């Protein structure tokens, strides 16, 4: 074999070895390296967010128990990062009358959770045809939109205008509002985008710039990290219990009404007067030649 042939084979095998390294070894090394970094980052995040709250993604399986940040941190390294979800920041405000709670998300990602985990008592506010924050008003149970005063609606509309990039620069804007349960979300919509189940139930109002109202609300501002899913489930459970209690009370009321009607019917009926044991036939009376027996019976009757 000539020297040129030997050199050619050496180059051939060298290229083959390099190809194997590029195709198999380097991807394998990258996979191991980044997997190790992901696990390390997961453990670090679990410790750094322990004050805020990392909780498991909500599962529909009733047998799975909810873990909290008090769980042993040493076990988090073996868990997948996808098994946790970070609680979202929500800004809370108190109305000037002190009777209502207003809240909104920090950005469009928080807004997604607010859209998903709202309550039946919530009212949604948004600047019409402009990008803005999603402001919610929590009404008292049993209230409707007609029960809201102009003052509380103005506060919500002023807050949502102040948290609109374009709207806050305008002297006036239109704000739309509707019940939370009227919001419609589909898979084709981007984050923060909503539609309506019944557009005719959406109301519209004009609001002027009012810094005094916004500044007063900002003094009551609080940053919290609520478990929106759990709050929604607790409220649904409470509503279900109220419905059961109402149905039980209604059933009891109907039974009492039926008993009362039956009692009144018996009091007005002649059936109790004409009982067989209280009646005397002619054959049971002592007959006499004159009318003395009939007169005696009449005297007893009267």
Q: What is the pLDDT of residues 21-37, one digit of tens each?
A: 666 677 676 677 666 55
- The mean pLDDT of 10-20, rounded to a whole number, is 72
Mean pLDDT of 158-167: 95
Q: List 103's β-bridge partners, or say none.
A: 92, 136
Q: Are 111 and 192 in contact (CB under 8 A)?
A: yes
Top mean-pLDDT range of 14-23, 188-197, 262-271: 188-197
> Residue 80 above 80 pLDDT?
no
Mean pLDDT over 83-105 rounds to 84
Contact call for residues 95 and 126 (beta carbons, < 8 A) = no
Q: What percent of the chain has pLDDT over 90?
A: 40
Which residues neighbour 157 within 8 Å (Cβ) at sequence distance 6 or greater? 125, 175, 177, 205, 207
pTM to 2 decimal places: 0.57
């Amino acid at each position: 074999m000539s020297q040129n042939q030997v050199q050619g084979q050496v180059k051939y095998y060298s290229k083959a070895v390099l190809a194997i390294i590029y195709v198999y070894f380097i991807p394998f090394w990258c996979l191991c390296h980044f997997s190790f970094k992901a696990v390390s980052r997961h453990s670090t995040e679990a410790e750094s967010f322990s004050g805020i709250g990392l909780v498991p993604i909500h599962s529909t399986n009733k047998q799975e128990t909810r873990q909290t940040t008090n769980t042993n941190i040493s076990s988090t390294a073996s868990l997948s990062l996808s098994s946790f979800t970070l609680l979202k920041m929500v800004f809370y405000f108190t109305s000037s009358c002190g009777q209502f709670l207003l809240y909104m998300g920090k950005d469009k990602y928080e807004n997604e959770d607010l859209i998903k985990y709202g309550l039946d008592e919530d009212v949604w506010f948004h600047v019409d045809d402009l990008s803005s924050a999603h402001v919610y008003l929590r009404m008292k149970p049993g209230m409707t939109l007609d029960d809201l005063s102009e003052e509380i609606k103005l506060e919500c509309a002023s807050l949502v205008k102040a948290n609109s990039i374009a709207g806050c620069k305008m002297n006036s804007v239109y704000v739309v509002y509707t019940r939370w349960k009227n919001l419609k979300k589909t898979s084709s919509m981007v984050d923060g985008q909503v539609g309506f189940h019944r557009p005719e139930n959406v109301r519209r109002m004009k609001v002027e710039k009012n810094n005094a109202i916004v500044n007063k609300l900002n003094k009551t501002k609080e940053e919290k990290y609520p478990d929106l899913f759990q709050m929604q489930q607790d409220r649904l459970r409470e509503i279900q219990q109220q419905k059961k209690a109402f149905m039980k009370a209604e059933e009891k009321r109907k039974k009492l009404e039926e008993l009362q009607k039956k009692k009144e019917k018996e009091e007005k009926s002649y059936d109790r007067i004409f009982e067989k044991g209280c009646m005397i036939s002619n054959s049971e009376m002592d007959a006499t030649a004159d009318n003395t027996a009939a007169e005696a019976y009449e005297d007893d009757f009267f």
